[in-house]
Structure 1
Amino acid sequence: MRDPRPRRPRAPPARSQPAALSTRAGEAVSRETLMAEVWDENWFGSTKTLDVTMASLRHRLTTAVAGTARPAQIPEITTLRGHGYRLDR
């Protein structure tokens, strides 16, 4: 029997977020483009989801590179106010 409760929107796959930026490293990627590519063009949730996801991605990048010999090579995600994000290498 199927659960009658409404389903919560699913979070995007963990690999989709960095892939959407890494394929355009150095380029400005709009919030709308990221939402459409990573989630779905029919996403009905808040764009705050994107902000939280980017904060989480920044934390994961910092944590992953913290133990390496060359921590200066951490890719940086820059917030472009009023537009979106950019991955700087």
Structure 2
Amino acid sequence: MRHCSVQVRGLLTRDELERYNALMEVGTFLESQQQYDLAYTVQKEVDILIQPAIERLKEKGRDRDRMTAEYLARLEQDDDEELA
């Protein structure tokens, strides 16, 4: 079973995280029993479950980029005012 990143796990809601942990436990058990076809199905469910958290992570990145751009624009504006 493939785990998601720590960043994505940190953005899962409590319900999503509980479901994620349960699915990972089931998937790991299935793999230990060499039931890879069933483990694949569980992995697909995990992939679907973490999509909202991935979107939240992307949005955080876009917000951070937006704030950086605003900060740099303010610095440039302050430099222009000092030169005038």
Q: Which of 1 and 2 has greater Rg?
A: 2
More strand by share: 1
